[in-house]
Structure 1
Amino acid sequence: MDGTRTRAFVGSFTSAGGRGVMTAELDPASGALTVTGSSDAVADPSFLALGGHGGGAVLYAVSETEQGAVAAFDVTGPAPRPLGPPVALDAAGPTHLAVVAGHVLTANYTSGSVTAVSLTADGGPGAVSGRVRHEGSGPVADRQSAPHAHQVLPDPSGRWVLAVDLGTDSVTVTALDPATGALSPHATTALRPGTGPRHLAFHPAGTHAYVLNELEPTLTVCRWDAAGGVLTPLGETPVVPDGATGPQYPSEIVADPGGRFLWAAVRGGDTLAVLALDASGATARLTASVPCGGHWPRDLALGPTGRHLYAANERSGDVTWFSLDPATGLPERVGAIPAPAASCVVFG
């Protein structure tokens, strides 16, 4: 962040005993984390994102509550410091956010919407500037009776914003006006009914996207056309081995910067899936499944060197890290830190 060190930030559910937002120093050689401070100033900061502001960085957090809010932290010190009070979203249950063109965008699970919030001069959240409400439902009655936007992120070209909706089995492509913060829906791609898409990751070449499904433990490989803003499904592949028993709920997908592997976290089975990509990125194949080192891996992140993988295990209350075999992509557990009700980990 400041040119001399890299740190990790861990979000957690304060309503389940979490410490809010934790800061940890990173040893890039070993991948080890050392906690330096925390802040519980915001309720249930379940997902975090870093954004540049001036010469430093600001950490943004959703407040995954029925009221729904977004907050910002100064992270130049050993513990996060709130930049003013959280800003209400007029949307319930925000689960994900991204910093895009001077705005913070949130995916609001309970409301089934995406919200854009402008940023103030100090990098804090300002007013709501745009909103897109999703429509539709899916065949899984207890999970898909209404839209449930679960993730929002920019595509690699920076031209589009994609929102993954678990409730409607779809991904919506939207344009953000950087000047006004207005959101304009462009296209919606329907995925197989009942799969419950949760998160996606892009191939480093920007030509493909990989949608991880929560209600069925599969990955949908898609072609991405940045020029036209078009997402086209190509096929599905499992993220759990044949014969896996019990409920399996995938949560997060991470792409190798070299374009050779994908890693997925799977709750229930408490595993990390390793998938090998072909040279074009158009097909993925499950090659291994290893224990996540804890219980209920809600989030997964690649360390800044690309040599370590980190799992935020919500129910066991820890963040575990793994070294990655450069030839096979296979994770090997190295260490862990306590992190009660951990929900995400980001680096910067």
Structure 2
Amino acid sequence: MSGTQTGQGGAGRRTRAFIGSFTSAGGPGVLAADWDPRTGALTVTGASDAVPDPSFLALDGDTLYAVSETDHGAAAAFDITGPAPRPLAPAVPVDAKGPTHLAVTPGHVVTANYTSGSVSALPRNADGTLGPVSGQTAHQGSGPVTSRQAGPHAHQVLPDPTGRWLLAVDLGTDSVEISALDPATGGLRPHGSAALRPGTGPRHLVFHPAGSHAYVLNELVPTVTVCRWDAEAGVLTPLGETPVVQDVAEGAAGDVESPAYPSEVVVDPEGRFLWAAVRGADTLAVLALDPSGDTARLVGSVPCGGRWPRDLTLAPSGRHLYAANERSGDITWFTVDPETGLPERAGSVPAAAASCVVFG
């Protein structure tokens, strides 16, 4: 790692990577790694198994937050100034089961609780630790795929680019639920809902860098739904679907059971390309976005470098993509061709039961 690299935390602060993993499947917990911005290489420096199944992570300065994806769902804060993450305090219950995702907002951390189908807000104290749940919204509904959609399953929650709204992607109800977080009280106020095609099973979304569009990756069919986002009104409008695997025609997407289960979606900082990790097919799909952001077109795919890519992350430089391959137990990185968007495998590091990668 270059000593002159300037990280996201300010001048002179190096950028590092942090890896989540499933301890129940043999993972080491939360790993810290040095990052080489020239080659993309990761070098693990330490780990903490203080929190069971820290499947998703989020950063704010020198504090790392993790969910504990268990029936006794919780969230925890770690200090990351040393070679290994260090818990700041015991994990705090999220008052729900199976949290799979979390995001940092001013003054709070919010979690998406898959098993319970809800979103929780927890206040952040001055020292980075978390307080008890201050607000919660419970989703309602179901979907036609009864084995997966018997009830709500919130899979992701994140703020929109303005910070005014929270969007929660619900796999069980084929919807994106929109709410507002009161920064003073930590209360959550439901605002609206965007209905997606029944049976698609939306999992994660990403915003276009212009903030005018969002791209929702579906898990139960291998497609991405392009949506227009009205930040003033807090309204998400679906425009159409595009396949993320080569053998699914747009008109046939979702008509038959597919062995491809998309997991994560990433957009490049210039808004030209979209990448999606696809489990089962074990590929990284490359989609080209038109200048308006209204349409996406599948232009190719490459092997993910392992098995079951649960997460996909773009490095701060924009030059490397990182796939967290859960079942092969590794983080594989790729160099992105700036003209075509196609990733080329550049290396990997072992990480048993890997679930996500974040940079900061």
Kindly indicate whether residue 268 of structure 2 is the aligned counterpart of residue 256 of structure 1.
yes
Kindly indicate whether residue 92 of structure 2 is the aligned counterpart of residue 83 of structure 1.
no
Query: C-alpha deviations, 1:240-283, integer Å up to 9, x for none?
Result: 00269960000000011000000000000000000000001110
Aligned residue number for residue 5 of structure 2: none
Kindly indicate whether residue 297 of structure 2 is the aligned counterpart of residue 285 of structure 1.
yes
Q: Is the 8 A contact 1:22 1:35 kept in 2?
A: yes
Which one of 215, 239, 246 corresponds to residue 220 of structure 2?
Answer: 215
Kindly indicate whether residue 55 of structure 2 is the aligned counterpart of residue 46 of structure 1.
yes
Determine helix, strand or coil for the equivalent of 1:125.
coil
Counterpart AA for 1:98:
A
Q: What is the alpha-carbon root mean square deviation over aligned residues?
A: 1.1
Bigger Cα displacement from structure 2, 236-245 vs 274-283: 236-245
Kindly indicate whether residue 38 of structure 2 is the aligned counterpart of residue 29 of structure 1.
yes
**1:121 Cα deviation from its structure 2 partner:** 2.1
User: Which is strand-richer, 1 or 2?
Assistant: 1
Determine helix, strand or coil for the equivalent of 2:161.
coil
Which one of 307, 324, 330 corresponds to residue 312 of structure 1?
Answer: 324
Q: Is the 8 A contact 1:246 1:269 kept in 2?
A: no
Aligned residue number for residue 300 of structure 1: 312
Kindly indicate whether residue 110 of structure 2 is the aligned counterpart of residue 101 of structure 1.
no
Which one of 177, 186, 189 corresponds to residue 184 of structure 1?
Answer: 189
Aligned residue number for residue 18 of structure 2: 9
Aligned residue number for residue 272 of structure 1: 284
Counterpart AA for 1:307:
R
C-alpha distance in 2, partners of 1:246/1:138? Answer: 17
Question: Matches of residues 154-193 of structure 1 in structure 2 within 5 Å?
Answer: 154-193=159-198
C-alpha distance in 1, partners of 2:296/2:88? Answer: 42
Counterpart AA for 1:257:
P
Which one of 149, 154, 170 corresponds to residue 149 of structure 1?
Answer: 154
Counterpart AA for 2:172:
G
- Scaled by the length of structure 2, the TM-score of the pair is 0.94
C-alpha distance in 2, partners of 1:273/1:154? Answer: 25
C-alpha distance in 1, partners of 2:266/2:224? Answer: 12
Q: Is the 8 A contact 2:221 2:258 kept in 1?
A: no
Bigger Cα displacement from structure 2, 218-227 vs 3-12: 3-12
Query: C-alpha deviations, 1:115-139, integer Å up to 9, x for none?
Result: 0001122111111000000000000
Q: Is the 8 A contact 1:148 1:165 kept in 2?
A: yes
Q: Is the 8 A contact 2:97 2:113 kept in 1?
A: yes
**How many residues are aligned here?**
344
C-alpha distance in 1, partners of 2:344/2:78? Answer: 33
Aligned residue number for residue 253 of structure 2: none
Q: Is the 8 A contact 2:135 2:186 kept in 1?
A: yes
C-alpha distance in 2, partners of 1:324/1:164? Answer: 28
C-alpha distance in 1, partners of 2:237/2:229? Answer: 7
5+ long unaligned stretches in structure 2: 1-8, 250-256
- Scaled by the length of structure 1, the TM-score of the pair is 0.98
Aligned residue number for residue 6 of structure 2: none
C-alpha distance in 2, partners of 1:46/1:58? Answer: 17
C-alpha distance in 1, partners of 2:119/2:248? Answer: 37
Determine helix, strand or coil for the equivalent of 2:24.
helix
Q: Is the 8 A contact 1:246 1:268 kept in 2?
A: no
**1:4 Cα deviation from its structure 2 partner:** 3.4
C-alpha distance in 1, partners of 2:31/2:185? Answer: 33
Counterpart AA for 1:158:
G
Q: Is the 8 A contact 1:93 1:111 kept in 2?
A: yes
Aligned residue number for residue 330 of structure 1: 342
**1:155 Cα deviation from its structure 2 partner:** 0.4
Determine helix, strand or coil for the equivalent of 1:128.
coil
